[in-house]
Chains A and B, each alone.
Chain A
Amino acid sequence: MNKPWFDSETDILLLDEYIAEMPSFKKILADGVVEEQEITEQVHKVISLMKRLEAMLSPEAKDVTTDIFCELAVLYAIERKYAEKLHSKI
């Protein structure tokens, strides 16, 4: 199964639609409760997938993938900081 990352017409990111269909996400939405065990399991899933990916990638693709992980984390952090600043003005 080859899932596109972007909508071919609008170019909008589609990742959230895949997330919405994941059993682990549906469970969180259903009961609204997150247990420590669930976080641990999710961490193990992420690490396992990252290791699988790392083994598949060429050095060049690995550099790009590392950049994506890092830049996405930076974007998330600065957006949260910006939202905090706006929220503090209210």
Chain B
Amino acid sequence: MHIFKASRFFPVKISDLTPIANDVMDNFRKKGYEVSGEQNITRGWNISLHKGGIFKSVLGMKTALNIELENTGTGVMTKAGVGIFGLQAIPTVITYFVAWPVLLTQIWGLVQQAKLDDEALQCVDRSIIAHSSENSNSFTAPAAGLGAKFCVQCGSSLQQTDRFCPNCGKKVE
């Protein structure tokens, strides 16, 4: 999936993202979505959600909301966007289809209308909070605690006085 349309960084260190991915998949399965998920080589998770009415097939291939969970070392980066069910890369035959940008934007519009992207990110949020409180060995809350600042671009920890991220240089807002 080369175009992510929504993302959120959770500044919580988690050694294993499997329980979070399972929670997200269970949540949508219960709501009647076709769900597929697999761990990638970086031990992150790629999850696909499909349901008729929101997603259509393009050139015979099912589109889906693809959710990516990645452990950045400083927290969990979650990204959500329209892609092909079960595939992280959109097949070339579709990207070469001249009206693909139109379809991509229209399907994304339906996802936003259904607030599906928000729901996916909130589901990850709830799961992280739940698992953080029940297992302190696997989940490490930020050392600085509540009120700690993190770079919105790379997730690095910031001092309260930092005006720019010491890691990537992004201006602190």
Contact = CB atoms under 8 A, between A and B. Distances in A.
A10 interface: yes
A15 B2 contact: no
Interface stretch (B30-38, B103-111, B129-137): B103-111
B58 A16 contact: yes
Contact of A20 (B59, B100, B102, B110): B59
Interface in A41-79: 72-73, 75-76, 79
B97 A13 contact: no
B98 A12 contact: no
A10 B56 contact: yes
A87 interface: yes
A73 B60 CA distance: 23
Interface in B92-123: 93, 95, 97-104, 106-107, 110
B3 interface: yes
Given A11-B106, A16-B58, A73 B98 contact: yes
Nearest to A84: B2
Q: Mostly helix, strand, loop or mixed at chain A's interface?
A: helix
Contacts of A17: 57
Interface residues on A, range: 20 to 34
Contact of B101 (A19, A25, A76): A76
A86 interface: yes
B93 A15 contact: no
Given A12-B107, A25-B59, A75-B102, 12 more contacts: A10-B56, A12-B103, A13-B106, A16-B99, A16-B100, A20-B59, A29-B93, A73-B98, A75-B101, A82-B3, A83-B2, A86-B2
Which 8 residue pairs across A and B have the least CB separation, nearest first? Answer: A79-B101, A20-B60, A76-B98, A12-B106, A16-B58, A16-B59, A20-B59, A75-B101
Interface of B: 2-3, 53, 56-60, 93, 95, 97-104, 106-107, 110
Interface of A: 7, 10-13, 15-17, 19-20, 25, 28-29, 72-73, 75-76, 79-80, 82-83, 86-87
25 contacts: A7-B56, A10-B56, A10-B106, A10-B110, A12-B56, A12-B106, A13-B102, A13-B103, A16-B59, A16-B97, A16-B99, A20-B60, A29-B60, A72-B99, A72-B102, A75-B101, A76-B98, A76-B101, A79-B100, A82-B3, A83-B2, A83-B3, A83-B95, A86-B2, A87-B2
